[in-house]
Structure formats: C-alpha cells, structure tokens
Amino acid sequence: QLQLQESGPGLVKPSETLSLTCNVSGVSISGSNFYWAWIRQSPGRGLDWIASIYYTGSTYYNPSLKSRVTISVDTSKNQFSLKVNSVTAADTAVYYCARDRGGSYYFDNWGQGTLVTASS
Amino acid sequence: EIVLTQSPGTLSLSPGERATLSCRASQSVTSNYLAWYQQKPGQAPRLLIYGASSRATGIPDRFSGSGSGTDFTLTITRLEPEDFAVYYCQQYGSSPTFGQGTKVEIK
C-alpha cells in the first residue's frame, strides 16, 4: 500500500531556504511509471501545485515559482525533496507530497501534509 | 494560467439530498483534463474524479463528474453524512491549477 510522508523543519526564517523531504513506502519510485509532486495549501492562496519529478530526474515546475524552487529525487532512499529559496511570509503553508499520474497531471495519493511557517 | 471559479462558495443541504457543484474555467481545458477532490478538516485532499468523468479507485458511484470545455459539474446524488466537506476542482490541461473550493455543509 502506497504511503507518502513529509518531513522537514516547521519554521523557516524569511530569506532562508525551505527544505522538505517526502519518504515513499509501498512502491519503488524507480520501478513505477509515475511522477511525484509537491503541492501546498494556504488560507490566502488555496491549493498551489509546485513541481513534479520522474525517477529519471525529468521535472515540471509551476512557472510562477520556478525561479525559487528545486525538486530532486533520491531513488536509493526512495524519496524526493523540495527546496524553496528566499522564503517570505507568503510561503507559509501546509506542504503536501503526492503521486502525480502523468507529470503535472492529477494527484491520486497524498501525504498527510506538514505545516511550514516562514517567520523570524 | 487557467483560472478555475467554483460555485457556489457554500452549499447547505441535508443528508439524502442531491448536490450539484460547478467549476468554470477561464479558457477551454485541453482534453477535458479536469479532476475533483474532496477535503475534510485536517486531512489531505482525496481524488474523486479525473478526466472530467472517471471515478478514482474506491469512489462510490453516487459521485459523478460531467462537462467539457470550460464548464464542469460534480454531482453527489444522495448525500451521506461523510460527504460533508470541501470540494476542489483542478485542471491539468496546462500547468495545473485548482479552484477555490465549494463547502458542502449540513443544513
């Protein structure tokens, strides 16, 4: 049974880098024909897709966030990660990792989410 | 960017009633690549519908999706107590975007 679990700091200072990891269990990232995604949700902005990655390293990014975001994959650990540079209060959100059915497609399995607050 | 507008913002209904939720896109959604999700407080969204009308695995048949182009609808034929939640539409015909949500609350 596929499970996704986000981990990372819950508090990040403005101008610093937000780093999150999603651990995938129940399926091999490199053995499946799916992409893997980060999505965030905040009261002000609602749901925003951030980026998606395939086990080969092929990526898709939200154009509005692309300049500050990096998504990466570590198949040896069966996990993928997100970095957001130069964070501001607007990056405060619940961050979800999810399985992406086609590379910036729809998302059929989600982690429970982790709250990240950008504050000094 | 395709903007999705959902209506109404809140739908107040009783168990057993029919719910009709609307999602309108600012431009035509390629290949009807539209999904619907259900979200309950403190939980992640759950996929209900993809491709405008295909039910995801394990989703009861009281949930159905329809529409094409710029106008899409999620219908719940008979509301069960567990169906009271927030529903989001999402398009993936271009860079994915989500609607702002419709809350289905108990009347």
**Backbone region of residue A15 per phi and psi (left: phi > 0; alpha: psi in -120 to 50; beta: other values):** left
Q: Do you find a cis peptide bond into B60, omega within 30 degrees of 0?
A: no
Q: Which residues contact B73 (CB under 8 A, 6 or more apart)?
A: B20, B21, B22, B23, B65, B66, B67
Each residue of B54-103: pLDDT tens digit? Answer: 999 999 999 999 999 999 999 999 999 999 999 999 999 999 999 999 99
Task: Please judge whether B96 and A105 are an interchain contact, meaning their C-beta atoms are less than 8 angstroms apart.
Answer: yes
Q: B96 CA to chain A: closest CA distance, Å?
A: 6
Interface membership of A110 toward B (CB under 8 Å):
yes
Chain A positions touching B92 (Cβ under 8 A) are 102, 104-106
Each residue of A36-47: pLDDT tens digit? Answer: 999 999 988 899
The alpha-carbon radius of gyration of chain B (Å, integer) is: 13
Interface membership of A107 toward B (CB under 8 Å):
yes
pLDDT, chain B, mean = 97
pLDDT of residue A35: 96
For residue A111, give the nearest of B35, B44, B56 by CB distance. B44
For residue A106, give the nearest of B35, B43, B44 by CB distance. B35
Task: Please judge whether B90 and A96 are an interchain contact, meaning their C-beta atoms are less than 8 angstroms apart.
Answer: no
For residue A107, give the nearest of B1, B43, B47 by CB distance. B47
Q: How many helices (H) and strands (E) does chain B have?
A: 0, 11
Chain A positions touching B56 (Cβ under 8 A) are 108
Share of chain A above pLDDT 70, in %: 100
Q: Indicate the residue type of A96.
A: Y
Distance CA A98, CA A35 (A): 9
For residue B98, give the nearest of A47, A63, A98 by CB distance. A47
Q: B54 CA to chain A: closest CA distance, Å?
A: 12
Angstrom CA distances, A112 to A50, A54, B2, stand at 17, 21, 27
Residue A89 has pLDDT above 90, yes or no: yes
Closest of B13, B97, B90 to residue A62, by C-alpha: B97
Which one of B23, B33, B36, B47 would you mutate to disrupt binding with A, by most A Cβ within 10 Å of its Cβ? B47
Q: Which residues contact A107 (CB under 8 A, 6 or more apart)?
A: A37, A39, A98, A99, A100, A101, B35, B45, B47, B90
Pairing of strands B86-91, B102-106: antiparallel
Tokens of A99: 């399985």
Task: Please judge whether A110 and B56 are an interchain contact, meaning their C-beta atoms are less than 8 angstroms apart.
Answer: no
Tokens of A111: 């982690």
Tokens of B8: 């109404």
pLDDT of residue A103: 87
Q: State phi, psi for B67 to the nearest 5 degrees.
A: 115, 170
If you average pLDDT over residues A50-70, what whole number do you get? 96
CB B91 within 8 A of CB B4: yes
Each residue of B21-56: pLDDT tens digit? Answer: 999 999 999 999 999 999 999 999 999 999 999 999
